[in-house]
Amino acid sequence: MKISIQNQVDLVEPLAETLLKSKKRLLQMHFESGVGHLGGNLSCLDSLITLYHKVLKKEDLFVLSKGHSAGALYITLWSLDRLTDDDLKLFHKDHTKLSGHPAPGWMEEITLATGSLGHGLPLACGLALAKKLKKEPGRVFCLTSDGEWEEGSNWEALIFAKHRQLENLTIMVDWNGLQGFGTTKEVAGLDSLKERFLSFGIPTDEIDGHDLKALESAWSRPAKGPRAILARTNKGRGVSFMENKMEWHYLPLNETQYRLALAEMDKK
C-alpha cells in the first residue's frame, strides 16, 4: 500500500471538501458510463474517503468485500491522484481496468478482486493471518455490505477471526438496510447484526456512517480486534430522490437526474 496519510491532497484540503468533490466525480463517472449501483456507492463513499485519507498507513491493507461499490473505490483512488480522469473515463467501457467489480492483479491499492459476496472477509482473514505469522506490522481493514451477511462464508470467517485472535483485523459493515430485492430486515431479519456479532465474541461499535469524525475515530481506534464497526448509512446518500430507495441499487442516472443530483450536492 503506497498511500500515506500525509498525501499531497490532504495537506491543502479539508476532508469534507475532498468528499464533496469525490461525490460529484462519482456521479459524473456513473452518469457518463450509464452505470447503476449508485446507491451502495454513495452509502460507503464517506467511509472509504475517511479510511484512505485519514487512517491507512503504508503497511496497511484494505479489502472491499462489497465489490459492487468499485466505483466508490475508484473515486477514492482518484481523490488521491492514484487514478486519473482519463482512467475514470474508461469506467465500465471496453479495454478498461475499471470493471464493474474490482479486477485482480493490476494495482497495488486494489489488494484483491471481489464481486461475489462473502469473499472479502475470509480473504482479509488470510491477509491478517499472514501478517501475524510473518510478524509484520500493519492492519487489515475490510468493508462489507450488510446484505452479504446472509452469506455463510462470512460467519465462517468471523469464527476463524475470533478463534485466531486476528487483532489486526477491523471489519466495517455499510449498514444501509437495503439489498437487491428488499430491505435486509424483510429478506433475512438482519436488523440484529450487532447482537449477532457480539454473540460471536466480536467487539462491535455502532456509528453514524456519514459522520466523518465518527468514521475516522472508529476506523483508527487502536487495533484490538478482531472488531467490527456497524456504520449506519443511507443508500444513495446526498441525493434526495435516491436516498433509501432500493431501485438505486441498479438504476443509472439520466441527464435531468444527474443535473438535479449535482445541484443538490452543491447546495449542501
Partner 1 sequence: MRTTFSEALVKQATRSDFVFLTGDLGFNALEPLQKAAGDRFINAGIAEQNMVSVAAGLAHQGLKPWAYSIAPFIYARPLEQVRNDVCLHDLPVKLVGNGGGYAYGVMGGSHHAIEDYGILLSLLNMRVFVPAFASDLPPMVDQLIQLEHPAYLRLGKDEKPKDLDLPPYAPWRKLLSGKGPTVLIVGPLAGSLLGALRSLPESKRPNSWVLTELPVEEKTLPEAFLKDIKASGHLAVVEEHVAHGGVGEAIARCLMLKGVTPGCFSHFCAQGYLSKFYGSQNFHRKECGLSPEDILKELG
- What crossing angle do the helices spanning 152-163 and 120-133 adopt, rounded to 10°? 20
For residues 58 and 259, which CB has a smaller minimum distance to partner 1 in the complex?
58
CB of 107 to partner 1, least distance (A): 13
Residue 71 or 122: the one with the smaller Cβ distance to partner 1 is 122
Among candidates 18, 8, 34, 22, which has minimal Cα distance to 89? 34
What are the DSSP calls for 113-140, one per residue? ---STT-HHHHHHHHHHHHHHTT----E
To partner 1, the closest distance from the beta carbon of 112 in angstroms equals 6
Beta pairing, strands 178-179 & 182-183: antiparallel
- Cβ distance to partner 1 smaller for residue 159 or 262: 159
- Exposure of 98 in the CB half-sphere (CA atoms within 13 A): 26
Name the site residues for partner 1 (rule: CB under 8 A).
Answer: 104-105, 111-116, 118-119, 122-131, 133-134, 152-153, 156-157, 159-160, 163-164
Whether the Cβ atoms of residue 263 and residue 247 lie closer than 8 Å to each other: no
* Strand locations in 130-190 (E): 140-145, 169-175, 178-179, 182-183
d(CA 191, CA 120): 21
Q: How far is the CB of 90 from partner 1 (least distance, A)?
A: 20
Bridge partner list, 79: none
CB of 199 to partner 1, least distance (A): 17
Q: How far is the CB of 69 from partner 1 (least distance, A)?
A: 17
Cβ closer to partner 1: 104 or 201?
104
* C-beta closer to partner 1: residue 73 or 123: 123
- Residue (46 or 109) nearer to partner 1, CB: 109
Q: Which helix (H) or strand (E) holds 31?
A: helix 15-33
Cell numbers that stand for 163 in this block = 478463534
State the nearest-atom distance from the C-beta of 165 to partner 1, in Å: 12
